[in-house]
Chain A
Amino acid sequence: MALKLSDLKTTAHNDWCPGCGDFGILNAVQMALAEMNVDPSSTVVVSGVGCSSKAPHFIKTYGVHTLHGRSLPFATGIKLANPNLEVIVEGGDGDGMGIGAGHFVGSGRRNIDMLYIIHDNGVYGLTKGQASPTLGLGMKTKSLPSPNMNQGINPLLLAIACGYTWIARGYSYDVRHLKDLIVKGAKHKGFAFLDVLQPCPTYNDIQTKEYWAGEGLVDSTGKQQPRTYKLEETGYDPVVHSDDEAEMEKKVQQAVLKSFEFGDHTPIGVFYQNEFIPTYEERIAHKSPSYKTNPPAAQQIAHEDGTPLANIRKLLEELRVT
């Protein structure tokens, strides 16, 4: 039976501000899950804390709304315990690249088969609009008392450096395009990172919906030019086609260069894709072959009467002295 979009909606009260870019991302996630026809009870959406991190409550799959900055390790535990689950992680830019930056790095290195979507709005929405790690130096969004004193980070460049094997950017008001990216990211074998430009109409009065639509940016004919463009429409090929090192290097370098384009000419789409790097699950199975067929969540640990199933007699025998 095909999953309908309405099957993925909940009745939980949604308290996002009207016009918030989070709505577009939520829709795209639900559309993607419907298109993928997932089993909602084999799907988990994990988030941190922030406006964006409330998303799981609005999606009718398992939802795990965790701690500020900690969505990735929670999701890692869930996925490693039960690798058969479809795990999608969502959260804010502050959550993922501020307080959670260490986990962002660690997760790239592990390359677990999950998708991580960052709602990139340049601000700390839920705490009333302070600068987030992606806001540029000297920018002064609405509720900042003075211009931002920190340099903004480049999430895509950071993701490349950390070893994510699928890296993309989407825009929350291009819902169809975003839905396609989510489907691709979820299907990718390895850790997929998707940065989504998400206007926060309440606190970010610079990178607004109108800004991305091209407000104040006109071409020679006087026509308004959108500030985003689609990579796939330019013939950009993000895919690493062989495990040849030179090929990988070429594709990484290309993605690095692309990641610097931002502002008036901002690429969206897939920057990098490499399925030749073994996933963390494969690395575990390499050491413990039984992990593949008998992962932790599938393992029985006791008989009906509570007697343990593990046999540690051999281990004890090694320690025997009399």
Chain B
Amino acid sequence: MKRDDFLWMIGGVQGSGVDTSANVFAKAAASGGLHVFGKREYYSNIKGEHSYFQVRVSKDLIRSHVDTVDMLATFEEETIFRHALEVRSEGAIIYDPDQDPKRLEQIPTIEANVRATLSSELSKSGLSSEVRGILELARRRGVHVYPVPYNELLKQVGAKFGETSLSTLQRMLNVMAVAASYALLSYDENLVKDAVRRQFKSKPKVAEMNVEAVGAAYDYVEQKFDGSFRYKLSPSKTDEVRLFVRGNSTVAMAKELAGCRLQTYYPITPASDESEYLEAHAEIELDGSAAHENPQAGEVAAMGAKGNIAVVQSEDEIAAVTMAIGGGLAGVRSSTSTSGPGFSLMAEGLGYAGMNEVPVVVTLYSRGGPSTGLPTRHEQGDLRFALYAGHGDFPRLVLASGDLEEVFYDTVRAFNYSERYQTPVIHIVDKALANSDATLPMLDLNRVKIDRGKLVKGPITDGVNGEYKRFVHAPDGISPRPPVGTKGAVYWHTGDEHDELGHITEDPTNRDQMMEKRMGKLEVADREIPMEERLNFFGPEQADITVVSWGSTKGAILDAMGWLKEDGISVNFLQIRLINPFPTERVKSLLSGAKNVVGIEMNYTGQLIGVLREQTCIPVDQLVVKYNGRPMSCEEIYDSLKSIHEGKAPKRIVLRHGA
């Protein structure tokens, strides 16, 4: 397979600016018109443990990460030990020669088994267990190793600014590593400097020092290693307006646009970033600009009114979901965001919302389970739970997005569905999306429509004796919905079975009617929701292999399909997005002629594949799963589909790559 892209990686101790450097690297590439896909891997730890970032860049559209590292930028020893051997032959490692004598045994944060493997590998090759040893091993494998004396360069930079404290200067190590990388690639220095300025926008002095550091690194690399690294990276002109976004904030922006005005949360990785973004942007600009000629909007703007979202950090996730339901009862688009452990606590609340026909959106960031599991790692293990959480039968919609663009539009749809069908909607966003940063074509806000369903904006005029039938039977099972607090009449809510007024009753006939009313709404949703919102089908109608998957594996599958096509293997791909109600008939017809159906999922059991079998009676021929907490790479999918095509693969393939 051939690759036109470049994978850059940086590692370091958590809290030491690894994130910043990756951000600067990615933005410098993105503003040069390159496509960027970034992936962050970190331990459940705040300071001291290792974390790393991979940034993949390309002139062409890319949607996933790859396993082969083209360039590894480091500024401390642990990253060198952990990742030096992941760099491909002809690739590059940038490092600080001061680290040469550091020994493997002196790094407490490296797990014993990793240490043992490395040491035996080094001693087999007759090398010392020092940084210089592992780098020699990399060299023998064809990797170019570039020593950059950061501290010396930093001192020169410091001198210009009258800064002599080495510890202050060392805060720029990360930016130096980025600059040295770009210098080796002969990338436009100004783009790097601009990215640095943007990163430190709020601290101009820091920005200028860092810009100077970029210059120093460029000068050094150009003098010392001029042209020695063969791979070059150059900007690519584009007319496309692009954004560089992260999953969490994409959800947050979409919530504000969708009209979500109450967000509750209890802190949990990887969900809280979204709520924090909302809290930081709690005042919402309202449209009154020329973009809309609607006179009503003009009025709003003229009054200078702003919107706002109330963000509440609750005492636990039970409170988070029930507060959001309270908001829904009062007619406000409300949501909560969480991940597995928090979602487990929300089960009873979801049932209440289902029973009382309350719109509420739960954004479920899927991470490694069960229990606390792999708190900062990736998995798609919560699908079955999202479909069934809660006792008894009640309707819910479950939606799973495959990439950041879908995340944006699906977030808005989640609110539309929840108000239209007056029931909870669970929107699954994988950790791999929540924490990945990528370039994205400018979002088309004109595509976004708000549908509030049968919301009644008071007052209630058809109450009888001051009482209103909130749960009145309707042909489609969906009753008009004046929120709690609407003037004119009153009604009740209860988690008990209830009559049209909302009063408790155990009458069997009423029970049948109400159960059928509620559950029937799913059939209405099944009829109404357009297929393009429910699934995607990529590739030729007939293919050697038909992949069925969901969520964040989308990008890697699409990228791998491109490579397989070059090898003459045709693959098509059914991505299911609305998992409940399941698009049964369409899925059946799409899969009816499939030669070889392969399920691909980031969980142990193949949860979607189970749902598929349950809904359509279609079994998959082969299953590719991964559950080590690291997202599937495009190569892994490529390799497994290739071996399936060659008839060499077992029925169940477990992918195991990842650091």
Contact = CB atoms under 8 A, between A and B. Distances in A.
A312 interface: yes
A301 B286 CA distance: 9
Contact of A74 (B253, B322, B503): B322
A127 to B, nearest CB: 15
Contacts of B37: none
Given A80-B312, A306-B451, A73 B322 contact: yes
B467 interface: yes
B506 to A, nearest CB: 11
Interface of B: 27, 30-31, 33, 238, 240-245, 249, 253, 256-259, 261-262, 264, 281-289, 291-292, 294, 296-297, 300, 305-310, 312, 314-316, 318-320, 322-334, 348-349, 352, 412, 439, 442-443, 445, 448-452, 459-460, 466-467, 483-496, 502-504
A67 B241 CA distance: 49
A294 B308 contact: yes
A42 B262 CA distance: 20
Interface in A59-115: 60-67, 70, 72-82, 84-85, 102-103, 105-106
Nearest to B487: A41
A54 B503 CA distance: 10
Nearest to A290: B306
A65 B486 CA distance: 18
Interface stretch (A142-150, A179-187, A313-321): A313-321
Interface in A141-192: none
A322 B30 contact: yes
B308 A290 contact: yes
Interface of A: 7, 10, 12, 39-42, 44, 46, 49, 54, 56-57, 60-67, 70, 72-82, 84-85, 102-103, 105-106, 284, 287-291, 293-297, 299-316, 319-322
Contacts of A57: 492, 494, 503-504
A106 B442 contact: no
A308 B448 contact: yes
B444 to A, nearest CB: 11
Contact of A290 (B27, B30, B307, B352): B307
Contact of A78 (B264, B312, B327, B448): B327
Contact of A303 (B297, B320, B330, B412): B297
Contacts of B296: 303-304
A310 B287 contact: yes
A42 B333 CA distance: 19
26 contacts: A7-B466, A41-B485, A41-B488, A63-B494, A65-B492, A76-B326, A78-B329, A81-B262, A81-B310, A82-B485, A102-B318, A287-B282, A288-B310, A296-B308, A296-B330, A297-B483, A302-B259, A302-B450, A302-B452, A305-B294, A307-B294, A308-B258, A308-B259, A311-B284, A319-B249, A321-B243
A180 B228 CA distance: 87
A127 B253 CA distance: 46
A307 B450 contact: yes
A313 B446 CA distance: 12
Contacts of A84: 485
A49 to B, nearest CB: 7
A80 B310 contact: yes
Contacts of A65: 492-496, 504
Contacts of A106: 314-315, 319
A139 B31 CA distance: 73
B198 to A, nearest CB: 9
